[in-house]
Structure 1
Amino acid sequence: MSVEGASADVPLVRHAAPPAPRREVIPPHPQHAIRALTHDFPSEICGWGAHPEYEIHLITKTHGSFIVGDHVGTFSPGQVSIMGPNLPHDWVSDLPEGQVAVDRDAVVQFTDEWIRQCMALIPELEELDTVLQASSRGLVFSGATAWRAAEVILEVTRTRGAEQMAAFFRLLGILARSPAEEHEVVAGEWLGRPTDANSLNAVEAGLSYIFENLTGDIRLSTAAHLAYMSEPTFSKYFKSATGMTFSNMVKKLRIAHARRLLDTTEHAIAQVAALSGYHNMANFNRQFLAEVGITPTAYRRLESSQKPPPEVFSLGLRAPVEP
């Protein structure tokens, strides 16, 4: 099986997740209730993975694609999100080969058991329950909520002790009180999360291969070979772990990249198509229309405020969370 692609004069170089299957293990610290840090991209802790802790995440620099459960979208500096326990996720930046984005991410992680104990002791924290429940499908924030939360996330990573905990609970309060129009649930109600080594291996190998060859020819047979699996076995595990077929993942990531090129460059539509892995303009227009709802030409003519939001890339149903 071949997924349509094209070689381009200027190849897109993508940093991808490490090839080994990964379930991130976050060791508890006896003197810290939460974990707060910044990290670079690429780094050894980046990649498709899941962990039992909640994760509040801030992108401080670069643009790229993110994958949460069965959702594929785009990100830019200032994106704020919260991922619930065991929800697989990954953020991949568009960077020239060899370049490192220092402190690309600011991350705050905490366990469900600990936050529930806090809520049991402090009744005022019950307002957090709705946002914690909704985070099981991933929440991405926008508007005033996002920029207010971004400032406090950085404060949490830079402080310690009582000052840090005060900032942490202020952050949760900002997220919990977010207006309905300033947050979106992104992933579908999908239970196929990668909990076994075969699923993780299929996704790691498949995503790495897609990101490294986004502008070229992509074949299911090659992805399966890289995962040391037969094509039917690879397809089964990839879909069970991501909620979509391998070819759908390729299409969504290519259209996400095309959309960024239309937003950030003056390239002709034909060049955008080629740089996104399409050598057939009719097919590119058809796929873009199916994903975004309008043609590439019509999309470029729109003002930023008129353009369809990134959530159009989600396969799953989305429902706003009532504050």
Structure 2
Amino acid sequence: MQNSPAAESPRRPAVREVIPADRDTSVRFYLHDDPHPFARWNYHPEYELHLILASSGRYVVGDVVGSYGPGQLMLVGPNLPHRWIADREAGQVIPDAHAVLHFSEEWVRACQAAMPELRGLNPLLRRSARGLEFHGPSAVRGADAVHRVREASEGMERVVRVLELLRTLATAPGEDTRLLVRDWVPFSDDEDASALVSHAIEYILEHLRTGVHLHDAARRAAMSDSAFSRYFKLASGQTFTDMSRQLRLTQACRLLESTKEPIAWIATEVGYANLSNFNRQFLRAYGVTPRQYRRTAATSSP
């Protein structure tokens, strides 16, 4: 039985995350378990490089929902909201599931002022504003570079390896990268609106099978349907209905990849009472039918 995100953390506002400063280091690297107090819908002014070590589930970056698993490497730009939601058994703790590197815009500019050659990182950093995912050989090389940062002692060695890591990512060919957010979605610096998104995601994932209703989500937030819709769109960049659909279809993809259950069963499992409607929405979202998606996933598996 998968653990619901509501069981992962108490119902508290997903406020702007404050990355602790350390006067002895200019970048911050750490591993964290899953669940973790900061593994929630959050944003911060620092760049975040995120490597999945031992977890799988769904991510939400800006207005995009997708699946993740070990080896996924992503660079998230400043103030772009994000969350990784693990599929876990109730009470399960996955140790050292995520490797995270934070560095600031100020640090980048200071390095470039001293070493103009580092301006070559600017295209990479600009693209991260929309969320940048790495694939193929570049993801493998990037993950190896992350592990070298992890192995470095504090101080100069770690900074050198961070710069080597950023160079590796900056030179990744276009076919090894994917921008996640199609259009820039301005993020509201409104803690109440941000909390609505976090709680709504929890509600959707709790009720994927039994049914997701805007009225119920609004009632949980003690708001009218119209006010809830307005604030949800403000904080997430998309409607509640669109977010619900993305989470449902992403879960359907995971089930198509990982089980041999009939497609009709999968449709019901993610909340579609009508198989034709499920097939139609899946085709519209991914350009292939669920059956074609399963066939392609099976042939591309190692």
The alignment's TM-score, normalised by the length of structure 2, stands at 0.93
Residue identity (%): 41
1:147 aligns with 2:137: no
Higher relative contact order (CA 8 A, sep 6+): 1
* Partners of 1:303 and 1:226 in 2: CA distance: 38
Q: Secondary structure at the match of 2:83?
A: strand
Unaligned segments of structure 2, at least 5 residues: none
The one of 18, 33, 52 aligned to 2:26: 33
1:122 aligns with 2:115: yes
1:180 aligns with 2:174: yes
Preserved contact between residue 63 and residue 185 of structure 2 (Cα < 8 Å): no
Matched residue, 1:14: 4
1:122 Cα shift? 0.4
1:252 Cα shift? 0.6
Q: Secondary structure at the match of 1:218?
A: coil
Preserved contact between residue 202 and residue 224 of structure 1 (Cα < 8 Å): no
Matched residue, 2:225: 231
Q: Secondary structure at the match of 1:155?
A: helix
Q: Secondary structure at the match of 2:172?
A: coil
Preserved contact between residue 2 and residue 90 of structure 2 (Cα < 8 Å): no
Deviations 1:47-86 (A, max 9, x none): 1110000000001122211111111111111000101110
Unaligned segments of structure 1, at least 5 residues: 1-10, 308-323
The letter of the residue matching 1:89 is: H
Q: Secondary structure at the match of 1:81?
A: strand
1:12 Cα shift? 4.8
Matched residue, 1:194: 188
Q: Secondary structure at the match of 2:159?
A: helix
Q: Secondary structure at the match of 2:232?
A: helix
1:225 Cα shift? 2.0
1:92 Cα shift? 0.7
Which consecutive segments of 4 or more residues in structure 1 shift more than 6 A? none
The CA RMSD over aligned residues, in Å, is 1.7
Matched residue, 1:8: none
Deviations 1:244-277 (A, max 9, x none): 1111111111101111111111111112112222
The letter of the residue matching 1:14 is: S
* Partners of 1:217 and 1:173 in 2: CA distance: 46
1:204 aligns with 2:198: yes
1:304 Cα shift? 5.2
* Partners of 2:269 and 2:162 in 1: CA distance: 42
Larger mean Cα displacement after TM superposition, 45-54 or 188-197: 188-197
Alignment of 1:94-109 (within 5 A): 94-109=87-102
1:59 aligns with 2:52: yes
1:48 aligns with 2:46: no
Matched residue, 1:252: 246
* Partners of 2:230 and 2:299 in 1: CA distance: 39
1:14 Cα shift? 2.8
Q: Count matched residues.
A: 297
* Partners of 1:281 and 1:49 in 2: CA distance: 35
The one of 83, 87, 92 aligned to 2:80: 87
Q: Secondary structure at the match of 2:90?
A: coil
Shift of the 12–274 alpha-carbon distance from structure 1 to 2, 3 Å rule, reads farther
The alignment's TM-score, normalised by the length of structure 1, stands at 0.88
The letter of the residue matching 1:181 is: E
1:158 aligns with 2:151: yes
Matched residue, 2:260: 266
Shift of the 254–143 alpha-carbon distance from structure 1 to 2, 3 Å rule, reads same
The letter of the residue matching 1:257 is: Q
* Partners of 2:299 and 2:76 in 1: CA distance: 26
